[in-house]
Amino acid sequence: MNNQYLRLLNFFVVNDSVTMDDLVAFGHVSERTMCKYIRQLNDDLDGIAQILEQQHRYYLQVKDYTRLTKIQMGHLKKELDFNNTDKRDAYILKTLFECHDYVTLDSLAEQLMVSKTTLNRDLKRLRSHLMTYHAKVTSMTNNGIKLVVSRAYEVPSIIDHFIYDYFELSKLVSQKQNEQLNLVLSEAHVDAENSRLILRNIGILKFAISVGHRIEQSIDNFSDYLTDSQPMKMIQREIMACFPEEILPDEMVFILSPLAFKMSNLLSRERLEKRLNDNRKLFLEIDREYNQRFPIDLAHLYEQIKYHLFFLINRTILHTPTIQLLPENQLTKYPIAYDLAHSVLVFIESHLGLNISSAEFGYLVLYVEMELEDQKDNASQKFKIAIVGQVGSSVVKFIRRQLAEIFQDDIMVRIFDNESQLNQDYGRYLLIFSDQPILYYDETTPVVRVSAAFRANELRGKLQVSLVEKAISSSLCQFDVWKFSHDTDYLTAVTEMIDTRTSEQYLDKEFKERWLDREHRGISVFEKGIAIPHVVNNGGRHEILLQIGVYDQPVRYQDRTVQLIFLIGTPDNLDQGLSQVLTQIYDLVFLISNNCNIYNRLIDYDVTANLSQIAEGI
């Protein structure tokens, strides 16, 4: 099984089910090629697992968990030959570690049985991978290549991630040492996974020492904070017995690092709390750096995230992977949280000199999203609803209950006997229920039949559209709809909308540059032909820009289909009120993606009418 299929397998393991669009975007291949990959992967996994398809979604059905785990852990890697690029990388690095002088390309190419062209291509890829580890492969004319690692504690991480699984370094720990250490770890209540990782680290360090690499400098920003308890002393004693010579303090820190990647009874609570307080001071500096662009309570967010952040930093320093909770294209379904979490990530990376993985970033996004949800729940905005006509008390009670479920009790209901009473009130209502057709002075307020209350999905749709319509009429949202021919590609369409709004001074001059940078960082196109390009607008306006682009026919962009574009400009002075409007806009976008009637009405949008038209007759 080559590396491409291993990546695809891990993608299925992480995700419950995915669409073909998700798979194509993940693999950067055509649908036809992805189907070929799936067939080949099913052949390779025969008797272990199978990829199945149901209702256009693909998922992994596991038959033999033990064998699948072995594949994921890389137990089959050592069986691969040098036709596999990963094993060639492992061999190159092992050779460079073992030889402290330069190694000639001719010698390496001969050992690997590949051409120098292939070897140079491998080295180019390897140099790119090693940048994260502060390491590089240097070359000298007529001498060859040499490995240089600027931080001593990065050497074990390189051995762990590139070499260990291919050359059976586990055998450097004897069976007796393995059994004795496992016994002591078990008595200290260390779980099986951490015990396995500690033994793995011993094998890694043994190899590192054998090729002359010691961890003589401290591991920057790493917090081990293990207790000085008797069980810990016994563990350390057994570890030292695995080595013929005394190991250095930071080498012991590396070996026991798995105990500092998640909460454990062997962590010192007192020392941990001190580090958490130091991290809090750093975290709250984000507010000063980003000024008004952070519409959340950072102190409260830190209390929710402090333990995760502590372990995230430790894992990142030693390049320890964590489970990918959601693929990045799914995370962008939480656009506000995504942008705020990205600001947190950039701040931490710049202040600690780290390169945080996309998997760790995923957890940050979800923590911020939960904070935004809590903030929304506490906003307690009252929505006003009117009921007009001869409507029985039991029906009024039912309508109240339906609305309470949608708005979590944040509603105020007023009852009018007739149309005349309603229009004399001059209130601003989100929605009006009536037992017969009526005219209301505010055309942006939807008037629906009482029977709509008995159709929950229809009611939710009308309310969601009405919320955004109210924001538009209150000058909290600058709204417009553009029509595009399928001859206009996605990037050109968005550029036209941005350029027009920039010339009208609704957007600042750097808005387009920030959007293009975001497109390079991650795709803005989701399922069902919906694209959501969105960035901060520094134009100083106290309103959110919502520009909708509608194609007459779907177009293709980065292996995905686009028919509706929702260009969103978020003001840099986002307060709680605008934050709530922004959430309502995103809720509307996802409502449109899940309601084919509203979706089709938007495609046929009449630019001379207001937004409420898309909720008519749903």
pLDDT tens digits for range 486-512: 999 999 999 999 999 999 888 989 999
pLDDT at 417: 82
- Please report the pLDDT score of residue 2 as a whole number: 63
Torsion 261-264-266-271 (CA) sign: positive
The listed CATH number (1.10.10, 3.30.70, 1.10.1790, 1.10.4160) that belongs to domain 269-378: 1.10.1790
Stated pTM of the model: 0.60
What angle separates helix 335-352 from helix 358-378, to the nearest 10 degrees?
Answer: 130
Q: Tell me which residue has tokens 């957007």.
A: 507
Please report the sign of the dihedral spanned by the C-alpha atoms of residue 595, residue 598, residue 600, residue 603: negative
Rounded distance between C-alpha atoms, residue 163 and residue 359, angstroms: 23
Asked whether the beta carbons of 355 and 54 are under 8 A apart, the reply is no
CATH domain 473-615 topology: Mannitol-specific EII; Chain A (3.40.930)
- Domain 383-454: give its CATH architecture: 3-Layer(aba) Sandwich (3.40)
Phi, psi of 445 (to 5 degrees): -90, 120
Q: Under CATH, what is the fold of the domain 3-75?
A: Arc Repressor Mutant, subunit A (1.10.10)
Q: 482 φ, ψ to 5°?
A: -115, 145
| Residues 421, 400: Cα–Cα separation, whole Å | 21
Question: What ranges make up the beta strands (E) of 344-410?
Answer: 383-388
The per-residue pLDDT for 105 is 92
What pLDDT, on a 0 to 100 scale, did the predictor assign at position 462?
82
pLDDT, position 519: 83
pLDDT of amino acid 381: 56
Cα gap 565→344, rounded to integer Å: 27
- CATH 3.40.50.2020 is held by the domain 79-150: no
Regions of the chain where pLDDT drops below 50: 75-76, 79-80, 292
Where do the structural domains in the chain lie, given as residue ranges? 3-75, 79-150, 169-260, 269-378, 383-454, 473-615
User: Contacts for 291-296 with beta carbons within 8 Å, 24 or more apart?
Assistant: 291/572, 292/572, 292/573, 292/574, 293/343, 293/536, 293/572, 293/574, 294/340, 294/343, 295/375, 295/574, 295/575, 295/576, 295/578, 295/579, 296/340, 296/368, 296/371, 296/372, 296/375
Structure tokens at 383: 């929505």
Q: What is the pLDDT of residue 571?
A: 86
What pLDDT score was predicted for residue 75?
44
Domains 269-378 and 473-615 share a fold: no
